[in-house]
């Protein structure tokens, strides 16, 4: 009965999305202006119905209702409750319902609180959001019904992919979807502004919180996903340029460019057409990522391989949304006013330069992701990996980071390098000192070397906007910018250090034997069987000691075996110190174990400063949160001032 309730709520939400689209479009005409009053309430109710449908799906997963086909295929009664709930979005249909739910709630929230835009632009925006939502509702109801019943009811379910049975993956997809849906709302704002020709600071101020929120969630999602792959897959790496990784990175790159562009438009009334174009591109990248992950053309731990008909459906949606938006932009771009001009040496110019660099990196990632798929469609097998992505991205990332040091120090509209040059003396000295230090320590490959020296300069340059200010009076958005840019320096240092100085060792040890990796002594004490709620494992007890400090710490890597579905996984054990991380993985018995007496394979890494990769990512997200809070407070203050002025005028009129 709960499944039928969820399906009914989904149908009603789809019907209201259609009504919202029609009423929004007709509300822009003279004859249908009265219908515009219904758009906001309909958007709110539509979001609540989508939430009800998703809550019903969560319930059938939580109680393991095996009469629902999706539950039987992706859950199991013996799983811990948290993974039963996470199984709701750990599959194709559930993840798409989560997407639609967040999109519906986002549109409803916009309808509820947004009052800064002209009503015509608001109607066009909500109509655009309904148009996007309607395609996904159709996809769920026609091609991917999450509430489909199964008969006869099986005695037990298949279970969730064991690699997804992890707390990191329980929270990673929802954060990414919040980011994707934030970009869909930004896309709808862009479409609404184009339709009504209201592209200006007011439009940018309404759009900016959604872009910033989407960017924050994408940052958190990518950071969490990278760390999950690092510790869960047991391969010791944090990024491999996998197509599914790229599918999340591409929207983040576009959103980063859009965030800076919309901020310039909101505060300086410049980059109008560029902001609209980036709004279209950012959502297009999330759509392309959706197609890659859910079309069946990729096989990955979190790419849901589905039948070609579903992939074709998504491809049609992609063509309609992206093609339609680009066509509208082409028709209306000439009507978008140029906005304020600025000098080649100014903060706006620095932002434009870095936006171009971000778009160039986006193009490189997009080409490297799609080219193997196109080549395979033509009968050729091509592999594109780090040897392509790393140097090609660096060609544009390096000048972008250099300009990032200078940009926040430049004045708006017009400035001179002579004034800024004095402030950059210390960062330049740090770059030189870091380069000399790396060479003295033992050198590093070219790209990590460049990353280390740029990280040193950027870390100092990122705090220079605070120079000469009363720190207690610095606005939150400025703190957000400083912390986010400092986080980039921290992550860059961690990435470069891990790439340059990591030590890996593969050994086969008997109980009681000791090996060394970097500054660590590692002793295999024992290997014992252990059991969990839905798995059994061999667990190694490692006694590790850092240098000669004498303190011994225990580490417990496991080789697990799940039975629903049957799969072997490696559970790495990590030990973090201030200067790096010891990473251990237990393999199987060595081939000569029976003759040599229980010799076990161990894979060990010492990764200097690797945790800074994800610590920097969290700092970047924190900077975004502070900026969002600061912008929200400023907007509330602005609204309060307007209300007081209106109230005073009303009293004077009486």
Other beta carbons within 10 angstroms of residue 538's beta carbon come to 18
Using DSSP bridges, classify how beta strands 520-531 and 514-517 pair: parallel, antiparallel or unpaired.
antiparallel
> Confidence band (pLDDT; 50, 70, 90) for 403?
very high
| Mean pLDDT, rounded, of the chain | 87
**339-383 confidence digits (pLDDT tens):** 788 888 899 999 999 999 999 999 999 999 988 888 887 878 888
Task: Check whether the bond before 565 is cis (ω within 30° of 0).
Answer: yes
What would the mean pLDDT of 446-457 be, rounded to a whole number? 93
Residue 526 has pLDDT above 80, yes or no: yes
Give the tokens for residue 209.
């919180």
Q: How many Å apart are CA 36 and CA 463, to the nearest integer?
A: 48
Give the rounded percent of residues in the chain with a pLDDT score beyond 70.
93
Q: Which three-class secondary structure state does DSSP give residue 41?
A: helix
Query: 303: pLDDT confidence band, cut at 50, 70 and 90?
Result: very low
pLDDT at position 360 is 97
The yes-or-no verdict on residue 594 having pLDDT over 50 is no
Predicted local confidence at residue 641, as pLDDT = 61
Cis peptide before 166 (omega within 30 of 0): no
What value does the mean pLDDT take over residues 618-638? 88
| pLDDT tens figures, 404-443 | 999 999 988 888 878 888 778 888 888 888 888 888 877 7
Q: Which residues contact 227 (CB under 8 A, 6 or more apart)?
A: 168, 238, 614
pLDDT tens column, 143-159? 889 999 988 888 888 87
pLDDT digit string, tens, across residues 546-590: 887 778 999 999 998 887 678 888 889 999 998 999 999 998 655
- The full DSSP string for 265-302 is HHHH---HHHHHHHHHHHHHHHHHHHHHHHSSS--BTT
Give, rounded to a whole angstrom, the gap between the first and last alpha carbons of the chain: 60
Residue 596 confidence class, pLDDT cut points 50, 70, 90 = very low
Q: What is the mean pLDDT of residues 72-85?
A: 85
Q: pLDDT at position 515, please?
A: 95
DSSP secondary-structure letter at 464?
Answer: G
3-state secondary structure of 146: coil
| Predicted local distance difference test score (pLDDT) of residue 105 | 93
pLDDT tens-digit profile of 457-487?
Answer: 999 999 999 988 888 899 999 999 999 999 9
Dihedral angle computed from the Cα positions of residues 131, 136, 141 and 142, in that order, rounded to the nearest 10 degrees? 90
Cβ-contact 332, 197 below 8 angstroms: yes
Mean pLDDT (whole number) for 94-115 = 91
Contact 343, 415 (CB under 8 A): yes
* pLDDT above 90 (res 544): yes
- What pLDDT is attached to residue 132? 92
What is d(CA 359, CA 365) in angstroms, rounded to the nearest whole number? 10
pLDDT for res 301: 45
CB 631 within 8 A of CB 209: yes
Tell me the average pLDDT across 617-634.
93
The reported pLDDT for the residue numbered 81 is: 86
pLDDT per position as a tens digit, 260-275: 999 999 888 888 889 9
Among 525, 553, 561, which residue's Cα sits nearest to residue 541? 525
pLDDT at position 516 is 94
% residues pLDDT > 90 (the chain): 52
């Amino acid at each position: 009965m709960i499944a039928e309730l969820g399906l009914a709520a989904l149908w009603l939400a789809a019907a209201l999305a259609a009504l919202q689209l029609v009423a929004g479009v007709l509300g822009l005409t003279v004859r249908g202006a009265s219908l515009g009053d219904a758009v906001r309430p309909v958007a709110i109710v539509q979001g609540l119905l989508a939430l009800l449908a998703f809550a019903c799906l969560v319930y059938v997963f939580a109680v393991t209702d095996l009469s629902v086909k999706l539950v039987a295929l992706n859950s199991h009664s013996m799983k811990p409750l948290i993974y039963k709930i996470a199984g709701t979005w750990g599959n194709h249909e559930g993840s798409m319902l989560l997407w639609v739910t967040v999109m519906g709630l986002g549109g409803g929230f916009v309808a509820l609180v947004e009052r800064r835009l002209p009503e015509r632009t608001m109607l066009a925006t909500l109509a655009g959001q309904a148009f996007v939502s309607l395609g996904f509702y159709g996809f769920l109801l026609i091609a991917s019904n999450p509430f489909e019943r199964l008969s006869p009811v099986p005695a037990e379910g298949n279970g969730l992919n064991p690699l997804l049975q992890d707390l990191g993956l329980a929270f990673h997809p929802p954060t990414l979807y919040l980011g994707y849906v934030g970009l869909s709302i930004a896309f709808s704002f862009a479409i609404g502004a184009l339709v009504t020709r209201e592209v200006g600071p007011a439009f940018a101020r309404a759009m900016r919180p959604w872009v910033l929120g989407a960017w924050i969630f994408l940052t958190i999602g990518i950071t969490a996903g990278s760390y999950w792959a690092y510790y869960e897959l047991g391969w010791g790496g944090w990024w491999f340029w996998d197509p599914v990784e790229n599918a999340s990175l591409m929207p983040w790159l576009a959103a980063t460019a859009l965030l800076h562009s919309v901020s310039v438009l909101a505060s300086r009334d410049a980059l109008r057409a560029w902001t609209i174009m980036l709004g279209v591109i950012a959502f297009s990248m999330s759509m392309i990522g959706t197609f890659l992950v859910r079309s069946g053309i990729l096989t990955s731990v979190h790419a849901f391989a589905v039948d070609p008909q579903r992939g074709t459906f998504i491809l049609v949606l992609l063509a309609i949304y992206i093609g339609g938006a680009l066509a509208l932009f082409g028709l209306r771009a000439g009507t978008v006013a140029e906005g304020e001009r600025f000098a080649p040496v100014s903060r706006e110019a620095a932002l434009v330069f870095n936006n171009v660099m971000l778009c160039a990196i986006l193009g490189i990632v997009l080409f490297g992701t799609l080219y193997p798929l196109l080549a395979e469609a033509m009968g050729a097998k091509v592999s594109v990996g780090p040897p392509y992505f790393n140097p090609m991205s660096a060609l544009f990332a390096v000048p972008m980071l250099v300009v990032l040091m200078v940009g926040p120090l430049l004045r708006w509209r017009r400035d001179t390098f002579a004034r800024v040059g004095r402030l950059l003396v210390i960062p330049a000295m740090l770059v030189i000192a870091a380069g000399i230090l790396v060479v003295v320590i033992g050198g590093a490959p070219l790209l990590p070397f460049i990353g280390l020296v740029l990280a040193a300069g950027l870390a100092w340059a990122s705090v220079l906007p605070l120079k000469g200010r009363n720190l207690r009076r610095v606005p939150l958005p400025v703190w957000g910018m400083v912390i986010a840019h400092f986080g980039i320096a921290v992550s860059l240092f961690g990435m470069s250090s891990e790439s340059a100085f990591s030590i890996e060792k593969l050994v086969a040890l008997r109980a009681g034997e000791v090996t060394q990796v970097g500054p660590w002594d590692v002793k295999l004490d024992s290997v014992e069987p252990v059991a969990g709620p839905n798995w059994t494992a061999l667990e190694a007890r490692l006694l590790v000691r850092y240098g000669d400090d004498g303190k011994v710490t225990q580490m417990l890597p496991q080789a697990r075996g799940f039975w629903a579905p049957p799969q072997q996984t490696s559970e790495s054990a990590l030990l973090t110190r201030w200067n790096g991380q010891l990473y251990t993985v237990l393999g199987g018995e060595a081939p000569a174990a029976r003759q040599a007496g229980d010799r076990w394979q161990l894979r060990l890494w010492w990764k200097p400063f690797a945790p800074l990769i994800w610590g920097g990512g969290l700092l970047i997200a924190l900077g975004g949160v502070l900026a969002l809070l600061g912008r929200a407070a400023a907007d509330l203050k602005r609204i309060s001032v307007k209300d007081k002025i209106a109230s005073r005028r009303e009293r004077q009129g009486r």
